[in-house]
Structure 1
Amino acid sequence: MTFHELHHGDRPLLLPNAWDVGSAIAFAAAGFPAVGTTSFGVNAASGRPDAEGASREATVALVERITALPVYISADIEDGFSDDPGEVAALVASLGVAGVNLEDSAGGRLVDPAIPAAKIAAIRRSAPDVFVNARVDSYWFHEEATVPAVAERAARYADAGADGIFVPGAADAATIEQLAAAIPLPLNVLVVPGLSLDRLGELGVRRVSTGSLPYRVAIDAAVDVATAVRDGREPPTATSYAEAQQRLVDFARRTDR
């Protein structure tokens, strides 16, 4: 199936979000057909706060590496790292990815929808095959957080050429179902505690992203390993060194071709 077709399968596409090469390799090894990046995780790995436009260089470097994996890659490019639609489109065209995630906020606030719409239209012209997932941050930042307001923004982005709509922060079944009914494109939400992948599919969701959750869980697990040893508890089991090393060897061989 193509990356576009994965959004129209029997179940919602579950997109795990990687923050470095190792996590992307692990997700691919686990059998996921597509892997996204997480701007939070990429920023955190560099010691920078999220959503400040600082992850461009790290994101480009990461994507350049992981596109060698035999899976589709979707890049989180925040707001495109520029206000110039042409610059954003040129960046997307250079990445060689199957999809991108483009936010409609900056500095923790929603922007005029005409701004991301212009970027989406420019991407569509320069990279017509890239799946553009337009992120509506109304619920994320509690601003214009109503179904009609989100649907209106989504319609602007759909008209500009978006392929999907991402609404992070939508977290109750009734709201998600209403959004899916009101938005004419595949709806993407974050993992919602208490709502399984199948249940989200029943509500009309076509894609579920893990976002920064795997990164944050991984950090917690790393701390737990160290504290377990310190406190005399049995440390958890993990993928063996040999298996982890072999994945890296295989990846290196793939990228050296």
Structure 2
Amino acid sequence: MDISFIGGGNMAAAMIGGLIQEGTAPQRIHVVDPDETKLHELAQRYGVSTARPGAALPSSRMAVLAVKPQQLEAVARQLAPELGGTLVVSIAAGIRSDTLAHWLGGHTRIVRVMPNTPALVRAGLSGAFAAPAVSDDDRAAAETVLRAIGEVVWVAEESRIDGITAISGSGPAYVFYFMEALQEAARAQGFDVSTARTLAYQTFAGAVALALASEDDAATLRLKVTSKGGTTERAIGTFEQQGLRDIVIAAAAAAATRSRELGDELGRG
């Protein structure tokens, strides 16, 4: 399977590196990007072929559109005449598959993906939607690429991508926000900056590792740490009194609403 990446930024580089590291790299990887320095770095690091925009696109089983949403319309319209039977995988946030199909001149073999930033260390979560014209083989090919940067969750309805965006797409920022707060809490307890960082980061890393290794759900794991009348119970009680759970749910709902709004705005071209 040959793959062309349209855009050679961090997410494309993560996918390429992940495929090579997993030993599932296709026979040929081609990257198109206007940045000569970026192309040179990718060629040197991964041995990929490269080209500037405007050059003829080599025949590929899959084209991964890894450009900014604001650039996608121009890129798609330029790419449309060259696609043929190519599977298109788009990781451009907010661009719906019907909008992209219109820009591609009616090409409908499209998989829309919402990855997240932990993909850069191969610990990502990608939400994916396959348009009706996508075959089982196409879907399997797309999953091979996406699993090179982490886990994949497929949704049957494209509207669910907005929920994926709200939870896992934006979610790393929620976690970082809580980590910031926990570091500030550590500083308030008298710890220096370096120690506060270690306490917050390793607490998160350890808790996630435990959750992933356990058959218990998050609520059960929390209860196992929360002794009656103890310190954790007092802290959780404060969270509950301040309405933290409701705040998190409301924040995710706001993110999903904004995702839908962006889809409307970006699809007006």
TM-score bin (small chain)? 0.3 to 0.5
Name the structure, 1 or 2, with higher relative contact order (CA <8 Å, separation 6+). Answer: 1
Give the number of the structure whose alpha-carbon radius of gyration is greater: 2
Report the TM-score, using the length of structure 1 for normalisation: 0.33
